Structure 1
C-alpha cells in the first residue's frame, strides 16, 4: 500500500491510498481515535493532483470529516490503517492538538449566551432565536448546493435573495421520512437496494421523501448525492445533529415514517409514536436476526445444521439469548402499523408468531441487465457477497473447502471468481492455497464486469435469513445461480428454476460440472431467470404493492 494522510483542519483529515499489488481494488481504511474504532472510509475519490504520479488511476483519495471536534479538551490520536491487514497509512497516527484556550472560551461564551437568551424568552422568541442562528449559519455557507437550501428551508431559513417565511408552511405533498443506520449504497448490499427501491416507490406515490442515516450523519459522499439525485432530501451534519432532532422538529408534519432494519426500529420506533403520532409507521425487517443467529448456533454445535431444526416448530427450545432476541424482534413488529418482509418464508413465520401484525411481502425492484459476452468467452464460476456478513464469509469458505475441490478433481480448468466488498486477508490466503484456480476480485463497483466473465454463480449458504440479493442479481444478468436451500429460501422460485437448488455440497459440485459446459441448459435457465425477475421484481409492481403498505386506497 502507498499513500499519505494529513490534518487539513481540526475536523477534517484528507489523503490518498492505493493497493500496490491491485491498484484497481480500492483501499478501505479503518479509523481509530485513541485506539477506539470510529468507522471506515474508502479511498475512491478523484485526486487530479496525483495524475502525473499515478497515471489514469486517480480515484484514490479520501476525506474524513470528523463527526465532532475531537480536540476541544485534550490531544487525540487518529490512526488510519488498511482494514484488510491493519497496515498503517503513511502519516498515521495524526495527533489533534487541543483547541487554543481562546477558542474554547469563545465557544463556551457563545453557549452561555444562547442558553441565557433561551431561558429568558417565550416560545415565539426562542423560535426567532433559532431562526437567527440558522440565518447566520447560512451566511457562512454562501455556495450551498440545492439540497442544503432545501434543508434550510425546512428550518424556515431563506436562501439568497429570498424572504424568510414567517412560519414553516405545510409541505405541498405528503411527507415520508426514512431512517436507516447508514446511507444506502446498492453496490454494497441487498438491503441498500431494497431501501432505495422503496424510496423510489414512495416518490412514485407522490410522497416528498426525506432520509436520515442515524449512525452516519457526517457522511456526504456519492451515496448521499445519488439519493439527492433521485429527489430525496438527505439530513446530515450540519443541518441535523441526530435522527432524534429530525423526528422532534419534523415529526408533526410527517405522514409516514419508514424504518429500515431492527436496530433503528428498536431505537426510534417509540420516538416516532411520541413526536409523530399521526404518521403511519412502516417497519422493514430486512431479515429476522434471531433466525440467522439460531442457524449459526446450530452450525457451531454440528458441522452441518439439520434440515428441519427443532426450534422452528418449538421456539421454546431456542437458547436463552436467541429467544430474547426473537421476543424483541416480534415486539418491534407489533409496534408498527405495517411490516415489510422480503421473504415468503419469514412472512409465514411472522403470520404464525404475531398474527395481529399487518405483514406485507414486498421485495425490491430489480432491472434485468443480461450479460452479452458469448458463453465460451465466460469461463468463470463466481461467488458474490459482502464478506463482512458472516453467512457470506462462511459460504465462501465452504465453497473453497468442500465444493470446488470436488469440481477440480473432475475438471481442474474451472476458475472460481470471488467478488465482493470487505474480503479479509484470511479468505485471500485460503484462496491462494486452494487446489484449483481462484481469482480474488474483491470489491467490484459494477457487477456487470463479473457477469461478463461468468457462466454460473454459486451460493452455498449454510445459514442466514432474508432474501438473497446475490441470487437475484445473478438471475437478473441471465446467469444461473446454484443455491443451497438456505440461499433459495423465501424466494418462491418458479418450477423452471427449482433445479438450481442443491441440497448438499456433492450435489452442488455435480450441478457445476453438469452445467459448466452445457450452453443450452445455461441459456434455458438464464432465460427463465430473466423472465421471473422481469415479472416479479418490476418497479411498477413494487410501487403498486407499496400503496397497500402506505395505507393508501387502491
Structure 2
C-alpha cells in the first residue's frame, strides 16, 4: 500500500484550533503540522463556531469545512471526500460522527486525539469539591495528590463519562495519549489493549535563542484559559491562600495572571494594591513567560500534561506546581523548579526560586534537558507517522484483534444512528396544510 502524497486526512475538531488559547489546540496544531510535512492532503471540519483566536488553517494549506451535528449532510460530504484517515479531536466528536465515518468510509483509519482523559479530570474535580466541602483547611492537599491508579479507577469507574469516553477509545483504531500516567491507568485498571494507545505528548522545537537571565526578569506569572475549570480553581487558590503567604515574605511581589476568555468573576479579583493583576489574554504567551521570573501553576485537579509548564520550560522560566501539575511530565528527571503538596510549601518554594539566582539558574538548565529528553518534535512526529503507516498496513488484523471495539461499534452504530436520525427528523420543518 502506498502512502504517498495522495493520503487524505479528515480532522473533526471539537472546536476550531486556538493554539494561543489552549494547550489542547496547540497539540492539534503540532499533529496537523506533522501531517503536512508528509505532504498529506488535510481537511479540517468542526460543528463549532469559530472562536476569536482561531488559527488560520487555510494559510497552512488546510481546507476548512464547517459541518453540522445530526445531519445527513455530513454523509454526503465524507462520501465525496473519501478520506484515508479520520482523526477525531476529543471523544465527543467520535460519538457524534464515528458511526457515520464507519458507514461511509469503512476502510479509513480512525484515530482519536484525547488531549486528556476527561473522565479522570472530572472525577478529580468531584473529589476536590467534596474535600473543600468537608474541610475548611485550604492549605494541605497531600491526600488529593497521592492517589494510586487503583483509587483513581474506583473514582472513575461508576461514572457515565468514563463509560462513554472509554467506549470511544475502544471504537477507534488508535488513540493518541498525551500522558503516560493515563496510559498506565487505562491498561492496568481498565484493561484496555496496549496497542490501542500511542504516547504522543506535546511536541516542541528547542528555542532558537538563549533564555533571558535572572537579572533580566521580574515578577511571578500564572497563565491559562479561564474556560478550563482547573485553571479557574488555581486562580482562586492563589487569591485566597497562596498569594497572601507569598506577599507576607515578599511584600513588594507582583503576580500577573494571563488567560483567554477572562470572565467578569476573574476581572473582579484584580487588585494592584495586593500585587494581584488580572491581565486578560496574552497576545504572545512565550513573550510574557520569558519576561517573568517564576511561573506559578497551583493545580488542584486536572489530567493530561500542561502546556503552560512546557511553555515555561521553553522560556527557561522555573515553575512551582503541584503533583497534579507535574504529573506525567518529567519521568525520572528532576522538576525544573519545585513541586509542592501544600500551600505553605508552595509559597516557600516560590519565594526561594524568585530570590535565589543560583537555584533559579539550575532549574533553568534542568528545563532545557527535560525538553530534549521528552518533548522533541522530530522524535514524536516520526514515531506518530510510523505508527499510523503501520496501522494502515495491518488494519483488518488490528480490528479483528479488537473484538470489544467491534462489538461496541456494532451496538453504538445502531443506537447512535437511530438517535441522530430521530433528531434530524425532529429538526426538519414540518409540512403544514395551506
Contact 2:113 2:176 (C-alpha < 8 Å) held by counterparts: yes
Q: 1:377 to 1:317 in 2, by over 3 A?
A: closer
More helix by share: 2
Contact 1:366 1:538 (C-alpha < 8 Å) held by counterparts: yes
The match for 1:515 among 327, 338, 353 is 353
Is structure 2 residue 280 aligned with structure 1 residue 429? no
Aligned to 2:15: 182
Is structure 2 residue 219 aligned with structure 1 residue 383? no
Is structure 2 residue 173 aligned with structure 1 residue 332? no
Aligned to 2:33: 200
Could you list the per-position Cα deviations for residues 277-319 of structure 1 after superposition, in whole angstroms to 9, with x for gaps in the alignment? Answer: 0100001111111111111111111124633448843745558
Matched residues in 2 for 1:449 and 1:211: separation?
29
The match for 2:103 among 274, 289, 297 is 274
Matched residues in 2 for 1:393 and 1:313: separation?
25
Q: 1:435 to 1:338 in 2, by over 3 A?
A: same
Displacement of 1:263: 1.4
Superposition map of 1:4-153 within 5 A: none
Displacement of 1:265: 1.6
Is structure 2 residue 240 aligned with structure 1 residue 401? yes
Matched residues in 2 for 1:317 and 1:354: separation?
16
Could you list the per-position Cα deviations for residues 64-122 of structure 1 after superposition, in whole angstroms to 9, with x for gaps in the alignment? Answer: xxxxxxxxxxxxxxxxxxxxxxxxxxxxxxxxxxxxxxxxxxxxxxxxxxxxxxxxxxx
Q: 1:354 to 1:445 in 2, by over 3 A?
A: farther
Aligned to 2:317: 479
| Aligned residue pairs, count | 376
Q: 1:341 to 1:506 in 2, by over 3 A?
A: same
Displacement of 1:552: 3.3
- Aligned residue for 1:182, secondary structure, equals coil
Aligned to 2:63: 233
Displacement of 1:499: 5.5
Aligned to 1:463: 301
Contact 1:342 1:362 (C-alpha < 8 Å) held by counterparts: yes
Aligned to 1:530: 368
Task: Point out the structure with max Rg over C-alpha.
Answer: 1
Displacement of 1:440: 2.0
Could you list the per-position Cα deviations for residues 231-251 of structure 1 after superposition, in whole angstroms to 9, with x for gaps in the alignment? Answer: 212213xxx667863554334
Contact 1:247 1:276 (C-alpha < 8 Å) held by counterparts: no
Contact 1:282 1:337 (C-alpha < 8 Å) held by counterparts: yes
TM-score (norm 2): 0.80
Superposition map of 1:210-249 within 5 A: 210-216=43-49, 219=50, 223-225=54-56, 227-236=57-66, 245-246=73-74, 248-249=76-77
Superposed CA RMSD in Å reads 2.7
Displacement of 1:549: 3.6
TM-score (norm 1): 0.63
Matched residues in 2 for 1:522 and 1:311: separation?
33
Could you list the per-position Cα deviations for residues 411-434 of structure 1 after superposition, in whole angstroms to 9, with x for gaps in the alignment? Answer: 1111111011122222232332x8
Could you list the per-position Cα deviations for residues 160-191 of structure 1 after superposition, in whole angstroms to 9, with x for gaps in the alignment? Answer: xxxxxxxxxxx961101111122101101001
Matched residues in 2 for 1:429 and 1:172: separation?
52
Is structure 2 residue 112 aligned with structure 1 residue 283? yes
Displacement of 1:274: 1.0
Matched residues in 2 for 1:301 and 1:355: separation?
29
Displacement of 1:371: 6.9
Matched residues in 2 for 1:174 and 1:543: separation?
17
Q: 1:392 to 1:185 in 2, by over 3 A?
A: same
Aligned to 1:349: 185
Matched residues in 2 for 1:436 and 1:517: separation?
19
Displacement of 1:437: 1.0
- Aligned residue for 2:274, secondary structure, equals coil
- Aligned residue for 1:547, secondary structure, equals helix
Aligned to 2:413: none
More strand by share: 1
Q: 1:493 to 1:412 in 2, by over 3 A?
A: farther
- Aligned residue for 1:376, secondary structure, equals helix
Q: 1:189 to 1:229 in 2, by over 3 A?
A: same
Displacement of 1:525: 1.2
Matched residues in 2 for 1:263 and 1:552: separation?
26
Which segments of 5 or more consecutive residues in structure 2 lack a partner in the other structure?
A: 133-140, 394-434
Contact 2:120 2:152 (C-alpha < 8 Å) held by counterparts: no
Superposition map of 1:150-165 within 5 A: none
Matched residues in 2 for 1:283 and 1:208: separation?
18
Matched residues in 1 for 2:120 and 2:154: separation?
14
Which segments of 5 or more consecutive residues in structure 1 lack a partner in the other structure?
A: 1-170
Matched residues in 1 for 2:232 and 2:98: separation?
32
- Aligned residue for 1:185, secondary structure, equals coil
Matched residues in 1 for 2:176 and 2:378: separation?
17
- Aligned residue for 1:418, secondary structure, equals strand
Could you list the per-position Cα deviations for residues 486-508 of structure 1 after superposition, in whole angstroms to 9, with x for gaps in the alignment? Answer: 01111134523265211211111
Aligned to 1:365: 203
